[in-house]
Structure 1
Amino acid sequence: MRHKICLLLLVCAAIAHAQDPNLARNLAATCANCHGTNGKSIGDNKSLAGEPKEKILRKLQEFRSGEKPSSIMQQIANGYTDAQLELIASYFAERK
């Protein structure tokens, strides 16, 4: 019985996660301090708005693996699941 309850809770959490229309925006908000609101940087850091999704996702994966050295991005990228990184990359790619 305990396993059925755990499974039910996981399914409910996944459904709620999928139904949040602001999830991508909320995840991407972490990037605003360095890359600007909606990915439009006004400082020295690269703007992410309008970049191709595949390019953003590849860079995030390179940071995560350590292939691309960084002072902070590896830690940030490791804090997200693959699905969350996909959402973040999609969000910035859709910004103009």
Structure 2
Amino acid sequence: MLGLSLVGPGLFLVPQAQAAGDRALGEYLSTTCVSCHRPDGQSAEGIPSIIGWPSDQFVAVLKAYRDKTREHQIMNSLTSSLSDADMDALAEYFGSLSRK
């Protein structure tokens, strides 16, 4: 069965990942992330790289932002609509990339 998730601040409805680590969904969802986090893996202006992180750490950080146990107004807002499956998909996608 397919579920739906809101992405970003209510921008789109997309199918939820059906299995942990749906890389294609992660790539699709990443368009919001790369508007701040550079897709080449370089840090810029205090914004950390999110390329190549271990999946468990990546998901833990996203959940902390979503649950507001880690405070950052923009990240709290952007993660508020992400499901656990969305986070797994993003972790799979960004974990598969390497720094350039």
Q: Is the TM-score greater than 0.5?
A: yes
Answer whether contact 1:24 1:88 (CA < 8 A) is retained.
yes
Superposition TM-score, scaled by structure 1 size: 0.73
The count of corresponding residues between Structure 1 and Structure 2 is 81
Q: CA deviation at 1:81?
A: 1.1
In the other structure, the counterpart of 2:50 is 48
Which protein has the bigger strand share?
2
Cα distance in structure 2, aligned partners of 1:65 and 1:56? 14
* Alignment RMSD (CA, Å): 2.0
In the other structure, the counterpart of 2:66 is 64
Unaligned stretches of 5+ residues in structure 1: 1-10
Selected match of 2:88 from 86, 89, 92: 86
Matched to 1:58, the amino acid is A
SS state at 1:61 partner: helix
Q: Equivalent pairs: percent with the same residue?
A: 23
Unaligned stretches of 5+ residues in structure 2: 4-14
In the other structure, the counterpart of 1:34 is 36
Higher RCO (C-alpha under 8 Å, 6+ residues apart):
2
SS state at 1:50 partner: coil
SS state at 2:49 partner: coil
Answer whether contact 2:51 2:95 (CA < 8 A) is retained.
yes
Answer whether contact 1:50 1:93 (CA < 8 A) is retained.
yes
Which protein has the bigger helix share?
1
**Residues 37 and 67 (structure 1 numbering): CA distance in 2 closer, same or farther, change over 3 Å?**
same
Q: Decide which structure has the larger Cα Rg and report it.
A: 1
Answer whether contact 1:66 1:74 (CA < 8 A) is retained.
yes
Cα distance in structure 1, aligned partners of 2:36 and 2:72? 13
Superposition TM-score, scaled by structure 2 size: 0.70
Selected match of 1:74 from 66, 73, 76: 76
